[in-house]
Amino acid sequence: MTIVCYLSQGCGAEQILRENIAQSLTAEQVQAEVAYHVIDDKKAIALELSGSPSIFIDGKEIQPQGSVGFS
């Protein structure tokens, strides 16, 4: 499993996100490659992300919000 997280600079959810992912993987006894990328709004729009954080598991966004970018 691969988990990729995109966050805006200064995202207040980063620490809790890291903790929640680590705890979830441990609880479920699942191994995953986890990557965190802090990016700006221009990059978020280019990637068509729906907010911060944007989380992808095996290439699929898990919480689409219907808007593009971090604004």
For residues 41 and 61, give the distance between their C-alpha atoms in angstroms, rounded to a whole number: 17
Look at residue 64 in the predicted model and tell me its pLDDT.
59
Look at residue 67 in the predicted model and tell me its pLDDT.
62
pTM score, two decimals? Answer: 0.85
Q: Give buried/exposed letters for 10-26 (b at 16+ CB in 10 A, else e).
A: ebeebeebeeebeeeee
Tens digits of per-residue pLDDT, 21-59? 999 999 999 999 999 999 999 999 999 888 899 999 999
